[in-house]
Amino acid sequence: MRLTPDMIRLAVPFLALAVLLAGVFWLQPRAMTYSGLNLLFNLAVPIALATLAQMFIISVNDLDLSMGAFVSFVACVTATFLNDAPLVGALILLASIGAYAALGVIIHVRQLPAIVVTLGMSFVWTGLAVMILPSPGGAAPDWIRSLMTVRPPFVPMAIVASVLIALVAHLIIARSTLGVLIRGVGGNERSVARAGWSVLRARAAAYALAALFAVLAGMALVGLTTAADANIALRYTLLSIAGVILGGGEFVGGRVSAVGAVVGALTLALAGSFLSFLRLSPDWQIGAQGAILILVLALRLGLDAMERRRMRA
Amino acid sequence: MTFLRMTASRPWLWAWIAAVAVFGITIAATAGASAAGLAQAAFTFAAFSVIVGLGQMFVITLGPGNIDLSIPATMTLAGTVSLKLMDGQEAMILPGILVALGIGACVGVLNYTLIRALRIPPIIATLALSFIVQSTAIWTNRGLRVKPPESLASFSTGTLWGVPNVAIVAGLLTIAAWVLLERSGHGRRISAIGQSLPAARRAGIPVEGVRLATYVLCATLAGLCGFLLSCFSGGAALNMGAEFLLVSIAVVVIGGSSVAGGNSNVPGIWGAALFLFLVVSMLNTYGFGAGPRLILTGFIIIAVILAASARGRTAA
Amino acid sequence: MNEQTPILSVSDARVRFGEVVALDGVSLALSAGECIGLVGHNGAGKSTLVGILNGGLVPQEGRVEVSGKAAVQTAGWDVATARALGLRCVFQELSLCPNLTVAENARLMHEGLAGGAWRARARALVSKTLDEIFPGHGIDPRATVSMLPIARRQMVEIALAFCDAGTPPGIVILDEPTSSLDAGIARQLLDHVRRFVAAGGTVILISHILSEILNTATRIVVMKDGRVVADRPAAEFTQAGLVTAMGTAGREQARRLEGKGRGEVILTHAPAVGLPFEISRGEVVGLAGLAGHGQTELLRALHGRLSPEWRAHADPKVAYVAGDRRLDGVFDLWSIRRNLTVGALPDLLRRGLVQPEAEDRAAADWKARIGIRTPDMGLPILSLSGGNQQKVLFARALLTRAPLILMDDPMRGVDVGTKQEVYEIIRAEAEKGRSFVWYSTEMEEMELCDRVLVFRDGGIVAELTGASITEEAILAASFLGAA
Amino acid sequence: VPAVADTSDSRIALSNNYAGNSWRQAMLTSWETVTGPAVAEGVVAAADAFTTGENSATEQAAQIQNMILQGYDAIVVNAASPTALNGAVREACDAGIVVVSFDGIVTEPCAWRIAVDFHEMGRVQIEYLAEHLPDGGNLLEIRGLAGVFVDDEISAGIHAGVAEHPQFEIVGSVHGDWAQDVAQRAVAGILPSLPEIVGVVTQGGDGYGAAQAIAAAGRDTPIIIMGNRQDELLWWSEQKAANGYETMSVSIAPGVSTLAFWVAQQILDGNEVPKELVVPFLAITQDSLAEDLANTPVGGVANVEYTLEDAQEVIAGAM
Ligand SMILES: Nc1ncnc2c1ncn2[C@@H]1O[C@H](COP(=O)(O)OP(=O)(O)OP(=O)(O)O)[C@@H](O)[C@H]1O
Ligand SMILES: Nc1ncnc2c1ncn2[C@@H]1O[C@H](COP(=O)(O)OP(=O)(O)OP(=O)(O)O)[C@@H](O)[C@H]1O
Ligand SMILES: [Mg+2]
Ligand SMILES: [Mg+2]
């Protein structure tokens, strides 16, 4: 079988995950247990969801710099309104999905750079979050809490959830007509329009889907942490972008992979654990994160080179 | 109509209009009494954003995906190492500056090496490298705050005929950047690469050399800014660059440069930097709490972008 | 079948783009069972007319009418209406989504594929249509489009236009469909067009290769400067008559100068596959063979070898004329002038700064020499028609002082008159000592070369010189692998 | 009370969420200086410090989960959020691990808290100003990072103080994000539009920047409450020498991490320790300035490190 570039792109995150996992198991055999795996991966679930959200935006050639702020906002709403007055909370979350779709519309109609608009929105979401929770607090609704801490037989919740969301997102982006349309907009907007589709609606749909996954990310996060604060997920902006790229996605051209994105997110989460098991000096713990990011991405280079050698042979 | 035509050919005007409007609203709070002081403060702090913004602008002009996220870490490392080296001695000022610029240049070379050798998207490469640079900064002096030499401290906080010295430095750099971008062959090449890398290659442009030079330039400016900022604020802090990550990007895009690359806008950077400083001052002056202030900041940024795009429509 | 009842017609359409009048009152009626050959010089307005028919462009004046229905106001004529009527378009620039598979592109093009198991149905449909038009095409519908060479992408796009997924194709517009195809594939396409028309379909065929038009079209419409200047049955035209109608003076064909001695060798190259070769001063070397057999790759490799990556040389060794102008030719945001001068930047600099006067002079000079149709070289490059953009790329390479010029099918979409002028320029430059390496899909251009290298399977398999360069010899070498 | 268990096999981990300022660096250094000998003497088997890159609750939660996996007996945590770590802390407690939080405390009931009365830290600033400026006047407030518990508490204390002393009015309030340059920039931006101010209340570390900005605006220097940074103390003592400038300085001592270490050790040792401990903040007055300045490393933060005996005293005091 010939490896296509697409397959190499997908193989990289899997390989990186496998290598890191092997390293973690070697450093800390206790991680090989049911609860060990759960501890390793459960906080990766919201990251994976946020990464998928970012993936939808990237697939239409845009970039969302407000992802972390939005997930924080959702977390604040979940820990307050959704807990105290579920109906109001649900309405707020629905409205925020609508707001995202509207953003997509504005960005398209006015031909605005998404980076700037979402940069502006990141202030707005943080501001709203600060107003909802001026100081940390709130409580996770019980049902979310129990959903996130459920213990299915044999395979821990974190793994089940990751596989499940990867599957659902894959069906949406790779198999459905809507997914094809969204990626088509990323690949060649003009030809999609010439085929009679409304690019406007496609972009709005991509943004709404992104918001939906980001809402799920915020809710899952609160389910794990039990409470929220306005800055809880600010890191998710960069993590989600890195996850998409690690998972073989590209910034332009509608080339994304849902499975890759989830694996990329898990890899990033695992990289952090791997480093803490290494017990580096605190001075270098931050730097080591960078080094690991570089190493993982260098894997792609290695695979590419291998493939080229094989083709020549 | 003539106004529209004027703004159409000068996309940077919008950032300036916004800055002037916000300035007006702010001084209205004190019936104009504070105009001079506020303007001076605005130019002082905008100068730092401009210096890093210029570098970021060159990088963003290189085309989609090109961005330098290592600016904050570079500023921190350049600031801490050079201040530690000078250790308050006047005689060490020149070595201090050279070390700050040298650190910037090194980071730029490393950034580019990662991007090119490992074929990593710049956003990830520079982010990853910034972690390493930040660690190096922590390791070199563990956050101790060393005072700058007296003459540097007074230079960076001083003024010349009422104009802050740092603003003069940033102004000169701006002029140089404008010439480089609009008049020089190098600027043409950057713009060509930003529009289409394969086309630039086929047109005989030495793309790798130009990209390397651009990343080095950006990081060197970040090093210079870190140096000036730590002299200005009486010592380098480990978190002193953090703010400049978003600011450096924001001044470029609000200033009218295209995030799609190839098209940049030097005067707009000043407008945007002043605007970003003044928005916060305005909202602080009117006593908004953190929440509403953030929300308004966000909406004002979007409004400026919308206004600038309305100009784009009428011109077409 | 009544020739007099048009199924779709455009009347008195006028389109202006700023200063440029693209269409100046054009009327055209399409009937069932005819193939209209649409010809005209670069920038005559052919693609603009296609845009109106397709519904993507609303003319400032004029109307579109559909037979059988109440007259459709121009405002009501949009892409969706046109497609529902069975109108299909293959555009001048490739317009597939490169990141999607062939089948996924089919899904986007055809509403009829909606519903369950659409992947399987799309694959089957594309395969069936490709088999029908291009037997032996070897295209996997699961392949990602960006992985296909340009000729195959063109084939996919053509097949998608002729697909029947619920709404059968009624009117198919082909805007220079053969520009990236080699002769064999082009013939397959034109055969299919004839069959399609015989079965009652309607085709508009745009091409600068007049023999294609004369052999395929039933009616020929000639456009000039945004107007229709002739509209008659194809049988009434001859090649010469057509050229006259287009307003390009029928020039004498440029010919190879026989018996010219070879100068000093300026370059030798030994590629990984196939025969090595060398290039001498003042020589025009053609690269022939079926499209996608390694010609473009060789040009890229040569260019990569000779052009600097790190520092600009004052004396460039090589210049390149791109074939895929959208991808690696034009700089979208720039004016025509900047696009033209970018290759020769080192010559325009003084102390690192660009000299505006020198730049203006160079631009004005080449505007005149190669006839770039624009009121102002300061206008954006995208305001030029496709063929005129290609001329700019050509001028960009000639403006440099490079002794070697690599050309990747540079005449794509250039009209006949201009082609002859360019051939003469190439000839004159070669006389002065410049060398050219010229890949082309058009056989007659190969016959202009001093020497031709024939490609097959990624490497050179044969070398023809002088009088032995004939269509038959090239075809024989490219199919059999040996001369 | 004699120790009932031996802790020489116990392993303690420090979970720290941020290392990007001098305070945190001093905190890590103190941890090292105190736990190093403790490990060498065999008091505990290990005392490892872990730091996450940015100030992120989610990363810290993952870090705590890793510590559970690594089988530490106690986790000492300076938390990014008082609530967002509760899930992870709960899991640690369930796994039988002792969790001691300090500075940034967590609300999860199973954990110990070594709290600083941040509210009081804000209130005493006004108290001090009221003593020195009986006539009151306008104040400028420099806050920290919005949405963070410490910021909210100190600010609430300051406002409570102002409510008690209505002769003061806060005429301007800016967020300095606990970063010197941000604070300086924010102050410079609001200053031109403020009326005359008599005092600046701060949350720590912003005093020097505020003084610079005020000097740059050409205003008289008001009473600026300092935050125990060496550069602030130095500036203060220079002013004091030049014109008798008077102010005060308060902050939490970074060495409180060492107190948390000993508390964890005592709990592991089987000693009874109340869940809530309060440590005093470290205040520097006009009189103690000279001495404290001399004891503060150049460019560092005034600090107090705790010994086992100090810790036992604190615990006994809370019983
Ligand atoms: N978007 C546009 N903006 C400005 N001018 C345009 C635009 N599109 C086309 N034109 C102008 O309209 C005229 C007709 O262009 P068109 O593309 O229809 O020519 P064409 O006959 O298809 O030429 P070619 O054979 O080179 O493809 C040209 O002069 C061209 O410069
Ligand atoms: N960015 C931050 N995120 C979370 N907590 C912080 C941050 N900065 C400071 N803190 C916490 O706030 C409290 C007071 O910090 P302080 O303001 O004294 O530090 P700082 O002023 O940033 O230090 P410096 O300016 O000297 O580098 C401490 O509990 C410290 O850990
Ligand atoms: Mg055309
Ligand atoms: Mg053409």
The CATH number assigned to the domain holding C201 equals 3.40.50.300
d(CA A287, CA A273): 14
The pair of three-digit structure tokens given for residue B159, joined into one six-digit string: 């003024």
The pair of three-digit structure tokens given for residue B88, joined into one six-digit string: 């308050």
Contacts of D68 in chain A (CB under 8 A): 39
d(CA B131, CA B137): 10
Which residues are within 5 Å of ligand 3 (an ion), measured at CB?
Answer: C 47, 92, 386
Which chains contact B through at least 3 pairs of Cβ atoms less than 8 Å apart? A, C, D
Which one, of A242, A270, A268, A244, lies nearest residue A255 by Cα? A244
3-state secondary structure of D115: strand
Residue minimizing CA distance to atom 19 of ligand 2: D23
> Are C300 and C448 part of one and the same domain?
yes
> Are C60 and C200 part of one and the same domain?
yes
Contacts of A230 in chain D (CB under 8 A): 146-147
Q: What is the pLDDT of residues A228-245, one digit of tens each?
A: 888 888 889 988 998 998
Domain count, chain C: 2
The pTM for the full model equals 0.85
d(CA C165, CA C108): 12
C77 touches chain A (CB under 8 A): no
Which residues lie closer than 8 Å to D145 by C-beta, 6 or more apart? A231, D151, D175, D177, D178
Please provide the DSSP assignment of A153-166 as one string: SSS-HHHHHHHHHH
- DSSP-derived letter for residue C342 is G
Partner B, chain C 295-334, Cβ-Cβ below 8 Å: 303, 307-312, 316, 318-320, 322, 327-334
Contact between C448 and C262 under an 8 Å Cβ cutoff? The reply is no
Is ligand 1 within 6 A of the CB of residue C26?
no
Q: Cα separations (Å) of C388 from C44, C71, C235, C340?
A: 11, 36, 30, 12
> For residue A313, is it within any domain?
no
Cα C324 to middle of ligand 3, angstroms: 14
A191 touches chain C (CB under 8 A): yes
d(CA D220, CA D218): 7
Contact between A28 and A144 under an 8 Å Cβ cutoff? The reply is no
With pLDDT > 70 as the criterion, what percentage of chain C qualifies?
92
Contacts of B131 in chain A (CB under 8 A): 286-291, 293
Of B134, B144, B243, which is closest to D297 when you measure between CB atoms? B144
Percent helix, strand, coil in chain A (nearest 5)?
Answer: 80, 0, 20
- The sign of the dihedral angle between the CA atoms of D196, D202, D206, D207 is positive
Residue minimizing CA distance to atom 5 of ligand 1: C383
- Asked if the Cβ–Cβ distance from A290 to B298 is below 8 Å, we say no
Q: What is the pLDDT of residues A84-114, one digit of tens each?
A: 999 999 999 999 999 999 999 999 998 888 8
- Asked if the Cβ–Cβ distance from C310 to B212 is below 8 Å, we say yes
- Asked if the Cβ–Cβ distance from B128 to A291 is below 8 Å, we say yes
d(CA C359, CA D220): 59
Which among A185, A194, A201, A252 is the top mutation candidate for probing chain C, defined by the most C β-carbons within 10 Å of its own β-carbon?
A: A194
Mean pLDDT of B178-204: 91
User: What pLDDT score was predicted for residue A300?
Assistant: 72
> For residue C254, is it within any domain?
no
Long-range interactions of D41-45: CB distance < 8 A, separation 24+:
D42/D8, D43/D7, D43/D8, D43/D265, D43/D308, D44/D7, D44/D8, D44/D10, D44/D11, D44/D12, D44/D265, D44/D268, D45/D8, D45/D9, D45/D10, D45/D11
Cα D107 to middle of ligand 2, angstroms: 20
Which one, of D215, D185, D206, lies nearest residue D250 by Cα? D206
Separation of first and last alpha carbons in chain C: 49
> Are C278 and C351 part of one and the same domain?
yes
- Residue D22: pLDDT band by 50, 70, 90 thresholds? confident
Is ligand 2 within 6 A of the CB of residue D303?
no
Q: What is the pLDDT of residues D182-223, one digit of tens each?
A: 888 888 888 888 888 888 998 877 888 888 888 888 888 888
Q: Which residue has the higher pLDDT, D178 or A172?
A: A172
Q: Closest ligand 2 atom to the C-alpha of D80?
A: 4
A183 touches chain C (CB under 8 A): yes
Of C83, C99, C119, which is closest to A253 when you measure between CB atoms? C99
Long-range interactions of C66-75: CB distance < 8 A, separation 24+:
C66/C7, C66/C8, C67/C5, C67/C6, C67/C7, C67/C8, C67/C9, C68/C7
Q: How many CB atoms lie within 10 A of CB C141?
A: 21
> Are C384 and C343 part of one and the same domain?
yes
- Residue B312: pLDDT band by 50, 70, 90 thresholds? very low
Q: What is the pLDDT of residues C72-91, one digit of tens each?
A: 555 677 788 888 888 888 98
With pLDDT > 90 as the criterion, what percentage of chain A qualifies?
47
Contact between B222 and B216 under an 8 Å Cβ cutoff? The reply is no
D137-143 β-sheet, strand order:
D168-175, D137-143, D199-201, D223-224
Contact between C464 and C279 under an 8 Å Cβ cutoff? The reply is no
3-state secondary structure of D99: strand
A190 touches chain C (CB under 8 A): yes
Residue A273 has pLDDT above 50, yes or no: yes
With pLDDT > 90 as the criterion, what percentage of chain D qualifies?
20
A39 touches chain B (CB under 8 A): no
- Residue A310: pLDDT band by 50, 70, 90 thresholds? low
Helix pair C118-133, C183-198: axis angle to 10 deg: 100
d(CA A276, CA C136): 58
> Are C294 and C241 part of one and the same domain?
no
Q: What is the pLDDT of residues A40-66, one digit of tens each?
A: 888 899 999 999 999 999 999 999 999
Partner D, chain A 126-145, Cβ-Cβ below 8 Å: 126, 129-130, 133-138
> Are C208 and C285 part of one and the same domain?
no
- CATH assignment of B11-28+35-315, given 1.10.3470, 3.40.50, 1.20.272, 3.10.50? 1.10.3470
The pair of three-digit structure tokens given for residue C328, joined into one six-digit string: 């690696």
- The sign of the dihedral angle between the CA atoms of C31, C34, C35, C36 is negative
- Asked if the Cβ–Cβ distance from B192 to C396 is below 8 Å, we say no
Domain boundary among C246, C280, C303: C246
User: What pLDDT score was predicted for residue B316?
Assistant: 25
> For residue C163, is it within any domain?
yes
d(CA B80, CA B226): 9
Place of tokens 């100046």: C24
Q: What is the pLDDT of residues C38-65, one digit of tens each?
A: 988 777 888 899 988 888 888 888 888 8
The C-alpha R_g of chain B, in whole angstroms, comes to 20
Mean pLDDT of C236-242: 83
The pair of three-digit structure tokens given for residue D14, joined into one six-digit string: 């420090």
Residue minimizing CA distance to atom 29 of ligand 1: C43
Of D19, D184, D230, which is closest to B233 when you measure between CB atoms? D184
Nearest CA in chain B to D217: B37
Contacts of C342 in chain B (CB under 8 A): 188, 192, 203, 205
d(CA C305, CA C283): 20
> For residue A312, is it within any domain?
no
Q: What is the pLDDT of residues D160-193, one digit of tens each?
A: 999 999 998 898 888 888 877 788 888 888 888 8
d(CA C446, CA C436): 12
Which among A62, A122, A297 is the top mutation candidate for probing chain B, defined by the most B β-carbons within 10 Å of its own β-carbon?
A: A297
CATH number, domain containing residue A68: 1.10.3470
Residue minimizing CA distance to atom 17 of ligand 2: D204
Residue C160 has φ and ψ, to the nearest 5°, of: -60, -30
With pLDDT > 90 as the criterion, what percentage of chain C qualifies?
24
B60 touches chain C (CB under 8 A): no
Strand C451-456, strand C284-288: pairing? parallel
Is ligand 1 within 6 A of the CB of residue C43?
yes
3-state secondary structure of D11: strand
> Are C241 and C289 part of one and the same domain?
no
Q: In which domain, by residue range, is C370 found? A: 265-480
Contacts of D143 in chain B (CB under 8 A): 290
User: What pLDDT score was predicted for residue A1?
Assistant: 47
Is ligand 1 within 6 A of the CB of residue C20?
yes
B238 touches chain D (CB under 8 A): yes
Is ligand 2 within 6 A of the CB of residue D180?
yes
Contacts of A186 in chain C (CB under 8 A): 99
C379 touches chain B (CB under 8 A): no
B295 touches chain D (CB under 8 A): no
> For residue A43, is it within any domain?
yes
d(CA C40, CA C51): 16
Q: What is the pLDDT of residues B247-304, one digit of tens each?
A: 898 898 888 887 777 778 888 899 999 998 998 888 888 878 888 988 988 998 888 8
Residue C390 has pLDDT above 50, yes or no: yes
Per the rule left: phi > 0, alpha: psi between -120 and 50, beta: everything else, B119 is left
Residue minimizing CA distance to atom 18 of ligand 1: C45
> Are C192 and C273 part of one and the same domain?
no
Cα C10 to middle of ligand 3, angstroms: 18
Strand C227-233, strand C219-224: pairing? antiparallel
Cα C234 to middle of ligand 3, angstroms: 21
Percent helix, strand, coil in chain D (nearest 5)?
Answer: 45, 20, 35
Contact between D221 and D214 under an 8 Å Cβ cutoff? The reply is yes
With pLDDT > 70 as the criterion, what percentage of chain D qualifies?
98
C357 touches chain B (CB under 8 A): no
Residue B14 has pLDDT above 90, yes or no: no
Cα D22 to middle of ligand 2, angstroms: 8
Domain count, chain A: 1
ipTM above 0.90, yes or no: no
Q: In which domain, by residue range, is A53 found? A: 5-307
Mean pLDDT of B83-97: 89
State the amino acid at position A250 in one-letter form.
E
Q: What is the pLDDT of residues C416-447, one digit of tens each?
A: 777 888 888 888 888 888 999 999 877 778 88
- Asked if the Cβ–Cβ distance from C95 to A197 is below 8 Å, we say no
Residue-averaged pLDDT of chain C: 84
Contacts of D173 in chain B (CB under 8 A): 284, 287
Supply angle C-alpha C34, C40, C45, rounded to 5. Answer: 95
> Are C350 and C413 part of one and the same domain?
yes
Q: How many CB atoms lie within 10 A of CB A142?
A: 10
Q: What is the pLDDT of residues C302-328, one digit of tens each?
A: 998 888 888 887 788 899 998 777 778
Residue-averaged pLDDT of chain A: 88
Is ligand 2 within 6 A of the CB of residue D205?
yes
Q: Closest ligand 1 atom to the C-alpha of C390?
A: 26
Is ligand 2 within 6 A of the CB of residue D227?
yes
